[in-house]
Amino acid sequence: MGILKSLGKILLIIFVVIYLLVEMFLAICLLNYNDYRVTVFGDKSFLLLTEKLDDKYEKNDLLIVTKGKGSDVSAGDSIFFYNPGENFTINYAEVTDVVDHANNTYTYKIGTTHNVYNEYYIGKDVKVYKKIGGIMRLLESKWGFLILIVLPTMIALIYEFYEIIIEIIEFKKEVENG
């Protein structure tokens, strides 16, 4: 019986540590959102795909896109960029030409009619984590907030109320017994 109780405590501690690490990571991600609701750490952007972009990038994938230098992009490369004309959706397309401006900024031509300016360029180097994006999107949503923050807080409050009621009952018994 003692071994099972110890094992239960160890598993509870492991669960709490994992829970706190996930909660802290998501809080850090949410605090590093840019204007386009994308988490950005330095030159790396965390893209949570809501639709299939290409044969390589499926819905619910997490893409960690590295911006790198604008000079690293050349015609024929595929890049990720924000499209301000479509509520800043994330697009992925092949560059047909790169225009180098004097102040170390670049304009990337997509097809014959679309220009991607430096401030909308996300990057081209990608690490793909299959299905993790869907999990992160759920945890960053209002349902995730409910699951990660509100429910544990309610459970802790209910437990504290229970402990207070038990203390009051025990105190009443002590008073009655003298």
Please give the pLDDT value at position 163: 95
Please give the pLDDT value at position 88: 67
Q: Which residues, in sequence order, are CB contacts of 48 under 8 Å at separation 6+?
A: 60, 62, 133, 134, 136, 137, 140
For residue 126, report the phi and psi dihedrals to the nearest 5 degrees: -130, 140
**Would 177 be classed as within a structural domain?**
no
Q: Where residue 90 sits, what CATH number does that domain have?
A: 2.10.109
Contact between 61 and 52 under an 8 Å Cβ cutoff? The reply is no
Full-model pTM? 0.75
Please give the pLDDT value at position 85: 73
For residue 154, report the phi and psi dihedrals to the nearest 5 degrees: -65, -40
Q: Is 133 buried (19+), middle (13-18) or exposed (0-12) by CB count in 10 A?
A: buried
- Domains of the chain: total: 3
* Predicted confidence (pLDDT) per residue in 29-56, tens digit: 989 988 888 999 998 999 998 888 878 8
Residues 46 and 125 in one domain: yes
Q: What amino acid occupies position 46?
A: F
* Beta-bridge partner residues of 116: 108
Residues 139 and 125 in one domain: no
Please give the pLDDT value at position 56: 86
Which of 158, 135, 150, 76 has the alpha carbon at shortest distance from 110?
A: 76
Residues 114 and 54 in one domain: yes
Q: Which residues of the chain have pLDDT under 70?
A: 1, 88, 178
Domain containing 65 equals: 35-130
Residues 87 and 10 in one domain: no
Residues 59 and 118 in one domain: yes
Residues 53 and 20 in one domain: no
Token reading at 44: 């790396």
Please give the pLDDT value at position 11: 94
Token reading at 50: 């809501």
**Would 172 be classed as within a structural domain?**
no
